[in-house]
A and B are shown apart, each in its own frame.
Chain A
Amino acid sequence: MKRRKFIKQGSLLTGGLFLHQQMLNAFAGPSAGEKISMGIIGCGDRGSGIMSVIRELDERFVIKAVCDVLDFRIEGVKKLDTDHSLTYYKDYRKLLDDKTIDAVVIATPLSLHFPIGSDALKAGKHVYLEKTMTYNKEQALQLVALKKQFPRQILQVGHQYRYTPLYFKVKDMIEKGYLGKVTQIDCRWDRNWNWRRPVPEGYTDKQINWRMYKEFSGGLPAELLSHQIDFINWAFDTHPDEIFATGGIDFYKDGRETYDNVQALLRYNKEGMIGNFGATCANAREGYIFKLKGSKGTVSLLPHDGIFYPENEARKELETVDGVTGATKIEWNKDGGIPIVKEKLKDGTWYALQEFHKVIQENGVPVSNVITGATTAFCVDLINHSSFNHTIEHWKPEFNIS
């Protein structure tokens, strides 16, 4: 089996050493093609972050206009707009009316993803929509239906982490069976601070700290855990069948409505797999952990780094010899793990936007699309339902979309 696998033509991502370069080539293609005119809707932390990556990719994109309902955010962008090349809007509809704009980035509070995303599609724009795709499952289903009416437009969902070559490689490793049978996923995204931004004078807490309010936000599951939930859905081509979640406002009793401490258990029947996804705002010891535990090995992931720990099934065979000669192994780390990528990666957004440009040029389908985005939105919605209503939630047939 091993021999046969060895000789077969490997996939693009087979060679661990050159993953980064290969991904660059794969995404970038021989020529950049046309520059895409961009409008940015929402200039908070995330919108500004995306803008700075777009500016790095100035062979592919040009930012034409920005929109935010908060004046101080607009002022912040103006400071960087030294050549006064941008048009500024407070009303996103006016930005959508601008015919010179090909595509929009939507980085608004979660509750606005669906209305603005829908309007953008209807206005003929390609859409890079921040995660989670929609606020609830109903909106997700509606957006899937709406997108079908606009087949020539791109809708990409901003689950940017899985765009790094690292996450592609891990998917590849899962498919090749290097992890064996995965039974457990352990994921945490912890911090020890209140997850609030300072509110400038003249603005309300709801405007700035919308993540604290149920009417705008899906809380920690939507804003943080959705990334890893989405990765598991995509990497295993699956979805959970049963979800139990719990949570509370356990530390920051500061008027917030969304939980500062959550834990979700996801049961994947087809894979025979349990996912444990948790986040707290009151402990930073572990920070980000994401572990996929299989019968042959564990993958331990950080956003830009990953280590493979083999379960060493070959041990029995190795016990019979005193030494093994082979081609030099490349830097095993001290605790017996093998680094999955060898070089420093760029931020996931960089790779995600490369693909956004490419699929627009080729009228392709992004890896993180309306279908995978909806699947993850269903998961987040079920998690919040479960934790708010103390119920066990089940996957519904209508969620099986294509």
Chain B
Amino acid sequence: MAVLFLSLFQLIFSAGETPSYYSISGTAQGTTYHVHYYANDSLVKKSQLDSILDRIDSSLSVYKPYSLISRFNRSDKGITMDDHFWIVLKKSLQTYRDTRGLFDITVAPLVQAWGFGVKRTDTLPGNKQLDQIKTCVGSRYLKVKNNFLRKTKPCVTLDMNGIAQGYSVDVLAEFLERNGIHDYIAELGGEIRVKGRRQPSGEKFRVGIESPAEDEFENHSIQKIIMMDQGAITTSGSYRKYYESDGRKITHLINPITGYPIQNEMISVTVYAKDAITADAFDNALMLMGLKDALQFTEAKKELAAYFIYKKADGTIADTASSQFYKLMNQ
């Protein structure tokens, strides 16, 4: 969603040694990506980024039937992982432990039952059905030996969408850096990674945090702007993917422990961390925790900072942030 236009200033002064501005946009993983960088030459091409993202899709996209993850889901036993898969799995299992099971990549059958999976459903699940499905949910049913990921129950399936976008942004960032780019901002599906500064001004990059709108057709305005010269920022929100049933809002964020969609005050959580895979791994879990626990959890983790938009008991919307995040906002 990033837009940056060459200012007149840049047009006039870009002839010398001043780095030029480059921008690449495309579609991947069912959403859009944008990369902006400053360099003396166009050091990376769109086709390179597309092919990197394609390879990640071939490993982690549940929407591609040929992907490793789809093959794992169809298999009774498991699969041999590639590097992308292994890195994301390792982070997922670590976050599963850190969040006491709130972040769980085996939640897929529940997400499917509530109608947010690859296939559409026509009816809402009942308690009995959910109890049945929950017997297939739990990262404890995953075992890794060498490069092989084994499932201890055939019905276990994975969905790493909650973390794969963050990881993809990190992979793009690494690729930019390997190609000698030191001032960039990379974004995919609203997950962002930043390094360096705008050129030639030397200002930090400005990242807007989207304010929730009623649905995706409404123009989203910006709630807050923060300045960054390093790190990653990702957002999880209940305001885009949801439907209503009997006056209740059913969101795509399903608690893997209870089996039910979140019913708390949270509207969105924006997480800051050194890399996007970390930020992305925690944002959904923080949504599920509810405001009080999420604030406490964030304060206790040095590597995280978070910003919350939530609904107060009287129905009005408010925001708050962890102390680390306030520091970011006040820079």
Contacts and interface: CB of A to CB of B under 8 A. Distances in A.
Interface string B131-145: 000000000000000
A15 B242 contact: yes
A176 B234 CA distance: 29
A17 B243 CA distance: 7
A390 B247 CA distance: 53
A330 B205 contact: no
A322 B5 CA distance: 9
A20 B187 CA distance: 31
Contacts of A173: 217
Given A21-B243, A325-B209, A319 B214 contact: no
Contacts of B237: 326-327
B190 A325 contact: yes
A20 B208 CA distance: 33
B30 A326 contact: no
Interface stretch (B82-90, B92-100, B218-226): B218-226
B41 interface: no
A317 B222 contact: yes
B315 A332 contact: no
Interface residues of B, number: 66
Contact of B235 (A21, A313, A319, A326): A326
Given A22-B245, A327-B210, A321 B2 contact: yes
Contacts of B30: 330-331
30 contacts: A2-B211, A2-B213, A5-B218, A7-B317, A9-B247, A10-B214, A15-B244, A17-B116, A18-B115, A20-B120, A25-B122, A297-B217, A314-B219, A314-B220, A314-B221, A317-B208, A318-B208, A321-B206, A321-B208, A321-B225, A322-B2, A322-B205, A323-B1, A325-B208, A325-B234, A326-B220, A326-B240, A326-B268, A328-B31, A330-B31
Given A323-B185, A324-B2, A325-B208, A2 B218 contact: yes
A308 B217 CA distance: 7
Given A3-B317, A9-B247, A330-B241, A324 B210 contact: yes
B2 A319 contact: no
A24 interface: yes
A28 to B, nearest CB: 9
Contacts of A318: 1-3, 208, 222
A178 B209 CA distance: 21
Contacts of A270: none
A148 interface: no
Nearest to A20: B120
B31 A332 contact: yes
B219 A296 contact: yes
A322 B241 contact: no
A116 B317 CA distance: 57
A334 interface: yes
